[in-house]
Structure 1
Amino acid sequence: MTLTGNKNYVIRSIDGLTPPFATVNSSVVAMVDGAIYNSARVETRNIIITISPLIPVEANRNALYKYFPIKKKIRLYYENGMKHVYIDGYVDSIDGSLFEISQTLTISIICLEPYWKSQILSNADVSDTEGLFEFPFAIPSDGIEFSRINKTSTVNIVNYGDVEIGMIIELIADDYVSNPTIYRTATGEMFSLIYYMHPKDKITINTNRNSKSIILTRNGEKSNIINSLVMGSVWFELDLGDNIFSYKCDDGAN
């Protein structure tokens, strides 16, 4: 359902699009002015849409109940001149007066994860395929190279957002690989696995908050290998701007 320019509804207002409130925890020390910072957290986001259904009012109001089902999870998309983002939330309430000449409904959506997410995925590869096949061509007896995989040991991932975020890392083996480790070069922090990968294995690492996981895909079957995580490993988050990572393996890094 697209609300912008919708001939069946008039949007009166939308609140909750700007950054949500934060709770700052502090401690008071006797005989000291002010307080000492302890921690801070961002509260859930509450998006409130005030909307008026147009004629036929009854049918259009009932359609809203379908698109905004109470207690159900929905996804909202928001676009402007600079951003194309979305957020997931749960319909908290949809209320209004049914006996006014011009009906107005208020839809409340609670977003447990308060940050907007980009609709455009950002990818960074530590290897890329270089095409080598050109016309005209001739194939010698020992064959020709159609393409070549170029590999590097470092990669720069740029976070263009407004807050630190997690990421999804995919490790794909084209040979036997043992104990892969990823490093953040700026701090020396590492994320390491004690695991022996087979050719065509894929390990998917999700470092996003509330979604942390390490999944192995082998021969089309998925399994949880989070128990292979080395103690002391850091679930990386992307800082604002540049983030440079490198990797190594005990065997098979090439």
Structure 2
Amino acid sequence: MIKKVVCQNSRGNQVTFSYEFPYFLESIEGATEVDGKVNTITSAYGVGSKYVSSSISERNIVITGSVKRDNITEKRQNLYKIFPKKDKGTLFYYEEDKAYKIEYYVESIEFAKSKVVDKFVISLICPSPYFTDLEESQVQMSNWIPSFEFPLEIPEETGIEFGYKNVNSLVTIENDTNIEIGMKIVFTASDDVENPKLVNITTQEELEIEKSMTAGDVITVTTYINNKNIILTSNGEDININNYLKFGTKFLQIHTGSNTFKATAKTGENALVTEIYYLINYEAV
């Protein structure tokens, strides 16, 4: 049973729809199903057809609810403020102990007057049809680990070790869904690094950036469906370096099942810290 739906617009304003007033949730359509399309061509032999491709359509979520008539103008204006047409927002969906989110654009909001309550219908278009977890998952490879704690004691003979390098450059990510997932890959250099690279050991796919890094440089790679970019952050400046993606390598995805990744570099691997951030996708909730 749905506990509540929360919508947050591009300015951070929120409204909650639940089984309580002021904004009583009567129904939400378009969240619990997925609309797909299979493309085929007629068989050359006149029997049946041949599969060509398939796609998932954008998602249309429709929220229907009601508000009591007291202070109705204020309540109605509040919804208009939170749902201006074409505004981008995020819908948070809570049910039992599960929570998901999805980004949307406002298509329309309509009201119907009555004596006791006013009805409202809000239509939201989600270009990416997948729901995701609320928070990103994160894994690190070859990262620095702090090794001191309080109270602090410093041996006279040996001094103190402030941290040590975790040299494990392999991580395994499990994807239990049927959806390939994009990710954010962050390469951080603590010294000179040449051509940072991430390899999917499971599939032998590679992503390599033909770029030299110096201490403090950060390269952020996003591999999402509608957001594939490579950004170098150096001396406080962000520079798009998509053209530095090595020919023959690709924007990696997290495939269904187990994916083992290895971070490496042409030179300077020991000075490279690699982090992967990702959100599990869901076809419906």
After TM superposition, is the score higher than 0.5? yes
Q: Distance in 1 between matches of 2:118 and 2:147?
A: 65
Aligned pair 1:222/2:238, yes or no?
Answer: yes
| Percent of pairs with identical residues | 35
Superposed, 1:165-204 pairs within 5 Å as: 165-204=181-220
Residue 98 to residue 181, structure 1, CA distance change in 2 (3 Å):
same
Aligned pair 1:70/2:85, yes or no?
Answer: yes
Superimposed CA distance per residue, residues 169-213 of structure 1 (whole angstroms, 9 cap, x where no aligned partner): 000111111112211111211111111111111000000111110
Amino acid at match of 1:34: G
Amino acid at match of 1:208: Y
Secondary structure at 2:81 match in 1: helix
Count of aligned positions = 254
Secondary structure at 2:78 match in 1: helix
TM-score (norm 1): 0.92
Amino acid at match of 2:243: N
Aligned pair 1:231/2:247, yes or no?
Answer: yes
Moved more, 68-77 or 204-213: 68-77
Q: Distance in 2 between matches of 1:32 and 1:203?
A: 54
Q: Distance in 1 between matches of 2:86 and 2:243?
A: 35
Superimposed CA distance per residue, residues 58-77 of structure 1 (whole angstroms, 9 cap, x where no aligned partner): 33222221222222222111
1:84–1:120 Cα contact (<8 Å) kept:
no
Superimposed CA distance per residue, residues 127-162 of structure 1 (whole angstroms, 9 cap, x where no aligned partner): 244443365734224522122121212111233555
In structure 2, the gaps of 5 or more residues are 1-14, 271-285
Secondary structure at 1:200 match in 2: coil
Secondary structure at 2:136 match in 1: coil
Q: Distance in 1 between matches of 2:85 and 2:259?
A: 41
Secondary structure at 2:62 match in 1: strand
In structure 1, the gaps of 5 or more residues are none
Aligned partner of 1:112 in structure 2 is: 127
Q: Give the structure, 1 or 2, with the largest relative contact order (CA under 8 Å, sep 6 or more).
A: 2
TM-score (norm 2): 0.82
Find 2:68's aligned residue among 31, 47, 54. Answer: 54
Poorly superposed stretches of 4+, deviation over 4 Å: none
Superimposed CA distance per residue, residues 33-77 of structure 1 (whole angstroms, 9 cap, x where no aligned partner): 321111111001000011111131333222221222222222111
